[in-house]
Amino acid sequence: MTTKTDTPDDIAAAEKLERLNANLSKMDELSKRLVAAMGKKKSADPGLQAPGQEVYMQAAAAYMAEMMNNPSKILEQQVSYWGKSLKHYVEAQQPFVHGKIAAPEDKGPTDRRFKSELWDTHPYFNFIKQQYMYSSAAITDAMQNLEGLSDHEKGRVSFFAQQIVDMFAPTNFLATNPEALSKAVETDGASLVQGLENLVHDIEANEGDLLVSLADETAFKVGENIAATEGSVVFRNHMFELIQYKPTTEKVHATPIVIFPPWINKFYVMDLKPQNSLIKWVVDQGHTLFIVSWVNPDESYADVGIDTYVDDGYLTAFEQVKKITGQKQLNAVGYCIAGTTLSLVLALMKKRGDKTVKSATFFTMLSDFEDPGEMGVFLEDDFVDGIERQVADKGFLHSFFMSRTFSYLRANDLVYGPAIRSYMLGEAPPAFDLLYWNGDSTNLPGRFVVEYLRELCQGNKLAKGTMELSGETLSLADIELPICAVACETDHIAAWRGSYAGIKQFGSEDKTFIVSESGHVAGIINPPSKKKYGHYTNKDMTGTQDDWWAGATFNEGSWWPRWDAWLAEKSSKMVPAREPGSEQFPILGPAPGTYVKVKSNKG
């Protein structure tokens, strides 16, 4: 309340206080919503939440053993850390001694988490940052230098230690984040109100669990501004919809292509927008293209296993494509987990003498899990046992758990960074199509996920030649048709070295192996027009991964044209373009179909 005698400054201060009180009131209301939302959280097996205690026991035992057997090494590490920490403390005091309020010179490594200039110029924030950097480096070095652990055990210990280090970064807490504090002051608390609103929204959307929204969900609509390449659904069963795309050329290669995307996510990562759509690009090169759009399973799919995906998925899709096009053969493509399963299918078809598939292409695919890369930390019994118990109870594995797992492989980019922007700065998630797709993931059937993890990942049965399916014993050596495999240099889900190890074991004489720059998605969705990422090639696959890499040639630009040239040789003559469907296969609806629009629910 103001009076006639109040000065403009008094009025401004009163208005500021009024806004602040109003925002505090809103925060109180949102806090009640937050508590209510968290109360809706459904039970989940503890094994899905964190690694088993044995990981920490192994680390503690190894550290204690080293302390007993090599105390000088431990002492040297500790003294080094103490020395750096104390030296920085003394340096931080020097400006105050001379009557200045300033931060000491920062000679440490750059870290994009600390982009605000206050981390470098403000004494308080600079001190916190540098002490955190010294501490995190000391912990990381201690874990990496532990003796008495296997490489795999050391990898798990280091990974989960890094998770803890990243979680306790000062950027993740309001009181030690200068950017968030400054914005809160500038907005009279409005940024915190909006941040709390964003937090409540995310928890409500995930039924009591927290998964940070990475993209503005209102900015995209599947079938309109993403997944909009023209085509038609020409077949549907309980496992998938088959989409045939409308040709854009007068003539097409006689041999059609069918792409099997991973059923952990939806197929439209290959069709986000015209400029980077792999689907549109393939059609524009003169190919008759089909793609499988998998169903998003619920508890009614509890008994769906690998054999169901093979019989009612792959083999059924092959038969429909042959009938629609009138061709006896086709070219198949498998992406990630769908590529792993495609390798099973090809081995099975070889045993049966089925020559339907003329050539096969694999995107970021592991078929040998001896070295699964970073994903290996989640493939031990502590996590897999938890998944098995969860699906036994629910009938399926909800997409939430897989999304969270993949996010923590890049926690600073996919968890903490987005959380800071959304919850502390009060910013709306960006309208980013790739991140929207990333959040639109799917569930996994109960029997399938257990079989996949136990038999293929942990048991590595396909690479060992002991995988049993439909009455046959399968191995990678059974695959003898022409193969093109594309791996990605910095892939954190399907490491290129593991991909190479599997492809090397194929019985094919015609094998092409390509390593694209970038990661699991960006390395694949890399259109020639962007001229962003190059790729590596080497025809010699007789040696180790290091041998292949040492002899590889770097090529500027996308691998897409190289693949198309390879594919064209396997695609026969040109024929008049085919319109989607046929008299026997009437169009069931426009692309992208109905299955792709089904959202996951926790049941």
Choose, from 336, 457, 484, 488, the residue flagged as catalytic. 336
The one-letter amino acid at 137: A
> Can you give the three-state secondary structure of 66-124, one letter per residue?
HHHHCHHHHHHHHHHHHHHHHHHHHHHHHHHHCCCCCCCCCCCCCCHHHCCCHHHHCHH
The one-letter amino acid at 280: K
Output the six-digit token pair for 56.
Answer: 């920490």
- Three-state secondary structure call for residue 1: coil
Q: Is 336 a catalytic residue?
A: yes
Q: How far apart are CA 136 and CA 115, in angstroms?
A: 18
Give the list of residues 6+ apart from residue 537 with CB closer than 8 angstroms, or none: 512, 513, 514, 552, 553, 555, 562
533 φ/ψ angles, rounded to the nearest 5 degrees: -110, 140
- Three-state secondary structure call for residue 207: coil
Output the six-digit token pair for 460.
Answer: 């590595």
Phi-psi group of 6: left, alpha or beta (phi > 0 → left; psi -120 to 50 → alpha; rest → beta): beta
Give the list of residues 6+ apart from residue 422 with CB closer than 8 angstroms, or none: 195, 198, 199, 202, 212, 213, 428, 429
User: What is the sign of the dihedral through the CA atoms of 424, 428, 432 and 437?
Assistant: positive
Nearest Cα neighbor of 424 from 138, 87, 170, 140 is: 170
Nearest Cα neighbor of 247 from 562, 558, 581 is: 581
Nearest Cα neighbor of 350 from 238, 462, 446, 201 is: 462
What Cα–Cα distance (Å) separates residue 156 from each residue in 42, 142, 388, 434, 446?
A: 28, 14, 21, 29, 26
Bridge partners for 160 per DSSP: none
Q: What is the DSSP letter of 285?
A: T
Nearest Cα neighbor of 514 from 496, 537, 495, 542 is: 537
- Three-state secondary structure call for residue 524: coil
**Which uninterrupted H or E stretch holds 352?**
helix 337-352
> Can you give the three-state secondary structure of 111-177, one letter per residue?
CHHHCCCHHHHCHHHHHHHHHHHHHHHHHHHHHHCCCCCCHHHHHHHHHHHHHHHHHCCHHHCHHHC
Give the list of residues 6+ apart from residue 102 with CB closer than 8 angstroms, or none: 95, 121, 123
Q: Taking a C-beta distance cutoff of 8 angstroms, is the pair 335, 524 a contact? A: yes
Nearest Cα neighbor of 111 from 448, 416, 507, 460 is: 416
- Which residue numbers are catalytic? 336
